[in-house]
Amino acid sequence: MNILVLMCDHHRFDALGCLGNPLAHTPNLDRLAARSVRFDNCFTQSPVCAPARHSLATGRYTHAHGVLTNNHKPYPGMYTIAHALKPLDYRRFHLGHMHWTDKQMDNGYEPEITAAMWRETMQDKVLSRYDWEAHGVTRRTTAGPSPRTREEYWGYHVATESIRQIEEAVERGESFISWTSFTEPHPPFYPPKEFYELIDQSKIALPEQPPDDAPPPHVRILRMRREWEHLTDVEVRQIIAGYYGMVALVDSYCGIVLDAIDRLGVRDDTVVIWTADHGDQMWEHQLFLKFNMREASIHVPLLIDLPQCHPAVRQELVEHIDLFPTICELTGASCPKSVHGNSLVPLLGDDSTPHGWRDAVFSQIGDVQMIRTDQWKLNVYDGIPGELYDLKSDSKEFYNRISEPSAADTTASLMNRLKAWEEAHRPNVSH
């Protein structure tokens, strides 16, 4: 089987038209969802780009591969899904926003198609506009329509280069994995004008915020809020409109690639996986972007379109590290001992939940760790329990129960599980 991974950046779990989101114009991803197994409880290993992507590549938790933030490099000997497929003579393409933090380390793939290559194809006026949009405060706190056309974004270059490589492999009769990683809808939230205008800002309902009787947020959340505390409701809606314009834009790029594998006649020989590295707060808890353990940041979409497999919706807790062993099982590749995830293949063709399936997921960024079960979420800051949420009764995470005496046993139990998880996945496992 060929493997096509379509990956977005900052794409919220619920930013799909097929989930009833009125702001999400996603006809191509909706079409993919209609023929896929949809995992409604998938979680990223980190709410930031590089750690999440290294976990996807290696099937390992962040503290085990070493990339705890965008500034960390992986431990020596990084072993990726591309390494696992190499003995089977797969062509191994990776392009777009891969976010390798050690460019010199062997990642197992063929030479990467990078943003620098895209820039070489663009006129100076296009790059000047992009650089303005992507600069500091503009990128993080504003949004609007861009004069750039759909063809003048990095995502279009990623889509067309992905198709070029796939065409080459098909022409030669070679199996391939194409990890096609779009930067969109990552900020800057400046889509082409026609995509920005798809969103009727008068119909944007701002997210509900914590009520007055809710405990104050953790000090780190309060610190994050300062970046956007000056925004008016009008400006917030402009950012939300820009985000969903970018969602529509990247949906069109996904559609280009999906149409290509149909045209090339390899759809029935290709597993299509679509996910995102993390979500975006979109003004929930008066935040944008990610960098925290709120549901909007760590809950991610996951679709797997396996030919001849009936569409379904699964509710089990799954993690990004599960994709490595899943791809190995689907292709017949050997899955190394270094992988921490569980293959999702048993969830693709059977209604039952495998015996012993996980009842908790884990995420980490820097010194912040999370353990989440169906009911509880514990967030730990620099080794100290800081937030405890009962997701059954408080799905919006408004009421931090960490200081309640009645919750002490739950906190202690989750803390013990978190420590055991950390110890069990130390970075000393050989391949």
Q: Which amino acid is at 59?
A: G
pLDDT surpassing 90 at residue 42: yes
CB 240 within 8 A of CB 21: no
Please indicate, yes or no, if residue 424 is contained in any of the structural domains.
Answer: no
Tokens of 395: 């799905």
Among 56-65, 196-205, 344-353, the range scoring the smallest mean pLDDT is 344-353
The pLDDT of residue 245: 98
Please indicate, yes or no, if residue 259 is contained in any of the structural domains.
Answer: yes
Please indicate, yes or no, if residue 375 is contained in any of the structural domains.
Answer: no
Task: Provide the number of structural domains found in the chain.
Answer: 1
Please indicate, yes or no, if residue 119 is contained in any of the structural domains.
Answer: yes
Please indicate, yes or no, if residue 408 is contained in any of the structural domains.
Answer: no
427 — pLDDT class (breaks 50, 70, 90):
confident
Q: What is the DSSP string of 338-396?
A: T-----SGGGTS-SSPPTT--S-EEEEETTEEEEE-SSEEEEEETTEEEEEEETTT-TT
Structural domain boundaries, residue 116: 2-356
Q: Which amino acid is at 199?
A: I
The pLDDT of residue 350: 77
pLDDT surpassing 50 at residue 431: no
Query: Residue 417 burial (CB < 10 Å; 0-12/13-18/19+)?
Result: middle
Q: What is the DSSP string of 6-34?
A: EEESS--TT--GGGT-TT---HHHHHHHT
Please indicate, yes or no, if residue 338 is contained in any of the structural domains.
Answer: yes
**What does the pLDDT average to over 307-314?**
95
Please indicate, yes or no, if residue 390 is contained in any of the structural domains.
Answer: no
Please indicate, yes or no, if residue 292 is contained in any of the structural domains.
Answer: yes
High-pLDDT (> 90) share of the chain, %: 98
351 — pLDDT class (breaks 50, 70, 90):
confident
428 — pLDDT class (breaks 50, 70, 90):
low
Tokens of 373: 């079960």
207-218: per-residue pLDDT in tens?
999 999 999 999
CA distance 291 to 149: 30
239-263: per-residue pLDDT in tens?
999 999 999 999 999 999 999 999 9
**What does the pLDDT average to over 326-348?**
97
Residue 161 belongs to domain with CATH number: 3.40.720.10
3-state SS assignment for residue 179: strand
pLDDT surpassing 50 at residue 429: no
